[in-house]
Amino acid sequence: MTRPAIRPGRAIAVFLKTCLAGLLAAATLYVVICAFPEPAFAYRSSYQNYHVWSDRPIPGEITDVLDDVTRRLRTSSLHERAVPVEIFFCNDDWRLWLYGRHFHARMGGAADVWLTRQVFIRASDIPANRILPPEGRPLADADQRPLSYFIAHEITHVDVSRAFGRTVMLRYPRWLLEGYADYVGKAGDFDFDANRDLFALGTWALDHDRSGLYREFHLKVAYLLDRKGWTLQQVFANPPDEQELDARLRAAP
């Protein structure tokens, strides 16, 4: 008995449906894995409102690091000390690749503002209060960016998400989101006038596209909050055009 031939159009439709079902299943599995990262981290420690997980033993000096995180977060008008904070140290790069949502392990840390509002930090030397840069490269602005800076920076992203919604990454400019996180993370360790002069000169460190640093964005946020006297709510309600901000900062004081 001869079976009827399957028409090419139908075969393509079946293939596409199978691929779509596979992609949907994979996406669902990824969301579930991301929603519950705890099984991938064997070690846990709690201190005040901080809950810390790691794939390696957590040194006792974590309390000193977290005390400095708390000091930095006092700079923020959004942070609430009573709200629990979940931090995951990803000493193995694959964990940062997976849970950091960027599918690479070159960043210092990442915050999941969409789903869990958890913070993920790259391999770190906790007793020395510093992250271990990828591939052993020197860390730019290391004096201003210890491990506690990176943790406070990512927690600030979570706080902004709580205050202004889970879709902040889609609705607000990057200079505002990263600039405010840098503003809080550095806790006032920022010379506005010196950085403004460097920005006007087009210095590498004040050009995010060339340096990857957030000093340019920090400068813009500090200008609005500290020099113009805007509240954070006013800035988020009506973020200025970035080119307009650039022009103001390059103009004479």
Q: Provide the residue-wise pLDDT of the chain in tens; the chain has 253 residues.
A: 555 555 666 777 777 777 777 777 767 777 777 788 999 999 999 999 999 999 999 999 999 999 999 999 999 999 999 999 999 999 999 999 999 878 888 899 999 998 899 999 999 999 999 999 988 789 999 999 999 999 999 999 999 999 999 999 999 999 999 999 999 999 999 999 999 999 999 999 999 999 999 999 999 999 999 999 999 999 999 999 999 999 999 985 6
Cβ contacts of residue 211 below 8 Å, gap of 6+?
140, 204, 205
Delineate the domains of the chain, giving CATH numbers in brackets. Answer: 43-250 (1.10.390)
The 10 Å CB-count burial string (b at 16+, else e) for 144-159 is ebbbbbbbbbbbbbbb
Contacts 24+ apart (CB under 8 A), 89-92: 89/41, 89/52, 89/53, 89/54, 89/55, 89/56, 89/58, 89/121, 89/123, 89/124, 89/126, 90/55, 90/120, 90/121, 90/122, 90/123, 91/54, 91/55, 91/56, 91/123, 91/124, 92/55, 92/123
pTM: 0.90
**Chain mean position to CA 223:** 22
